[in-house]
Amino acid sequence: MPLYVEKKPERLITEEGVRTDGRLPHEIRPIRMTVGVLERADGSALVEWGGNRILAAVFGPREVHPKHLMLPDKALVRARYNMAPFSTPERRRPGPDRRSVELSKVIREALKPAIFVENYPGAVIDIFVEVLRSDAGTRVAGVTAASLALAHAGIAMRGLVAACAAGRVGEFVVCDPNHDEDMWGEADMPMAMMMESRKITLLQIDGPMTPEQFEEALNMAKRGIEFVYELQKEALKRPYVLVERRIRGV
């Protein structure tokens, strides 16, 4: 028998649209992004999104092992998503499971269109996404963190990939579903975009929506992604701004 049992809130959203964490339907949880958090990685990023703590690391381009996996005309892109045993209230069994394998593929496919893989023939680019604390929306936070880590590593990219989710709670469409809404809401729709071209690289939906609700969720996710994208750019610029200030003595 599990030691930790979650209890469903009496109400996920009020008639006025106030959610269990006090947000309105269109509001996003607090987000903080930092790059360069791991010295031994070629690129790294930490994304704190609500209660999520997502660490991403990039290694490469580097030599492929084993050799038979090498692609002669482009880079091999590999991604691994992993949830730490202490990332959830109930301790997880260490090692990959079905969900982590699925999300590894989702993250890789969301990021690969942004990478100029043809610039690195015969090489491999490894992306590691480690969930240190889970609080709903880890796949969109993972894509966002991994995209930052790729840019920090200096990998040639067509543009940053930013992500955000929308969902349905009762008759309300909400942005960035929280843990309660993820567990007991009616629908969840994670989405990622390559912002420079506005190309959608990830769009999944779990749960029923009417065509009108889907359109509203799509627009809401896009607005959330635009906000996340601005935070990504600020995170990449911040180390250089600090260096500039030190040089100028400001």
- pLDDT tens-place string over residues 92-146: 777 778 899 999 999 999 999 999 999 999 999 999 999 999 999 999 999 999 9
pLDDT at 247 over 90: no
In this predicted structure, what is the pLDDT of residue 1? 40
Q: Is residue 20 in a domain?
A: no
28 token code pair? 């996003």
Q: Is residue 12 in a domain?
A: no
What average pLDDT is seen over the chain? Answer: 94
In this predicted structure, what is the pLDDT of residue 6? 80
Q: Is residue 26 in a domain?
A: no
Q: Is residue 139 in a domain?
A: yes
Other residues' Cβ atoms within 10 Å of the Cβ of residue 67 = 8
For the chain, percent of residues with pLDDT exceeding 90: 85
- The number of folded domains in the chain is 1
Q: Which residues lie across from 34 on neighbouring strands?
A: 46
- Domain of residue 100: give its range: 31-248
Q: Is residue 202 in a domain?
A: yes
| Helices 211-248 and 138-152: angle between axes, nearest 10 degrees | 40
* 191, 231, 77, 142: CA torsion to nearest 10: -60
The H helix count followed by the E strand count for the chain is 4, 9
Q: Is residue 13 in a domain?
A: no
Q: Is residue 3 in a domain?
A: no
Residue 250's pLDDT band (cuts 50, 70, 90): low
Angle at 47 (CA atoms; ends 235, 180), nearest 5 degrees: 140
Spatial distance between the Cα atoms of 102 and 65, rounded to a whole number of angstroms: 23
Average pLDDT over residues 21-39: 97
The set of residues, in sequence order, having a beta carbon less than 8 Å from that of 9 and lying 6+ positions away, is: 20, 180, 184
CATH code, domain carrying 106: 3.30.230.70
Spatial distance between the Cα atoms of 205 and 165, rounded to a whole number of angstroms: 10
Q: Is residue 5 in a domain?
A: no
pLDDT in tens, 44-103: 999 999 999 999 999 999 999 999 999 999 999 999 999 998 988 777 777 778 899 999
